[in-house]
Structure 1
Amino acid sequence: MASEPVNEQAIANLYTGMRSELNQIYSKITELEMEASEHSLVINAIQPLDPSRRCYRMIGGVLVERTIKEVLPAVQRNKEGIEEVIARLNEALEKKKKEITDFEAKYKIRIRKAESEVKDDGNKKEGAASQGVLVGPAGSSE
């Protein structure tokens, strides 16, 4: 960060942006884990088959005919590449979590549950789906 935030709104915006980045990393990890799982299914399905058997593979939107002997190593390499990316994203996730924790400590940020979540009177209010509310002044000494 080049400069310190100047007011509570700037801090709130920065914090919201950091939380958004964290959610994007989570989403990407989930997406890639699903893709790695699909690759595993394909590998498990074609591995026991005859290597000279014909199979089809989608490459850039074009379906091409190959043999299992040609396709299997490529699918395995793709899966390994996806797993490497997942590992790097997990590292970035841990870094971002620490950054957010440090930011919360520095500016004394606490997340408060919305009123509708605190009161369990059976009535669902419109704000029940909100994630939380920033509480406490940023620059004041308490």
Structure 2
Amino acid sequence: MAKVEGDNSKEPINEEAVANMYGAMRADMNQIYSEITELEMEVSEHSLVMNAIEPLDPSRRCYRMIGGVLVERTVKEVLPAVQRNKEGLAEVIARFSEALEKKKKDVMEFEAKYKIRIRKGDGETKDESGKKEGNAQRVLVGPAANESC
């Protein structure tokens, strides 16, 4: 796979270049996954806020953080704004999902073109029950140390 001087195609020069391009594509895909996950968490938070303030009196005082500043509004003013933000986030998630599907397709084509096969890492082991177990750490959360207030 030699590259001819002056050739404007984006063909990699050697295996290392192919691996680097593949790694970059996978990193882009992981970045999109993280963005989608973060936005989905924000949508979930918006839903929680909406569910909490919907049953309240519309004239009730409500506080909202705007650009790092806490402002006083009413429930009637805040609820539509939170709803609009949630809808906007949903649209962004849809666009990111489309970009992710395109990136997945590109990665699959790249894998097929260069006959790339993924090897399983050494970090995985099997326990007696046959389940795969990674090197993840587990956290046990108990009751608060100081329960008396």
Q: Partner residue of 2:105?
A: 98
The answer to whether structure 1 residue 32 and structure 2 residue 34 are counterparts is: no
- Equivalences for residues 1-142 of structure 1 within 5 A: 3-114=10-121, 117=124
Using a 3 Å threshold, how does the CA distance of structure 1 residues 54 and 114 change in structure 2: closer, same or farther?
closer
Compare the two structures and name the one with the higher helix fraction: 1
Q: Find the aligned partners of 1:116 and 1:36 in 2 and give their Cα distance.
A: 33
Q: Partner residue of 1:136?
A: none
| 1:114 positional shift | 3.4
Q: Find the aligned partners of 1:94 and 1:2 in 2 and give their Cα distance.
A: 24
Report the TM-score when normalising by structure 2.
0.76
SS in 2 for 1:110: coil
**Structure number with higher relative contact order (C-alpha < 8 Å, ≥ 6 residues apart):** 1
Unmatched 5+ stretches in structure 2 = 1-7, 129-133, 136-149
**CA RMSD between the two structures:** 2.2
Aligned pair count reads 123
| 1:3 positional shift | 1.4
Give the 4+ runs in structure 1 shifted more than 4 A. Answer: 115-118
SS in 2 for 1:114: coil
Identity of aligned residues (%): 74
Report the TM-score when normalising by structure 1.
0.80
| 1:21 positional shift | 0.5
SS in 1 for 2:118: strand
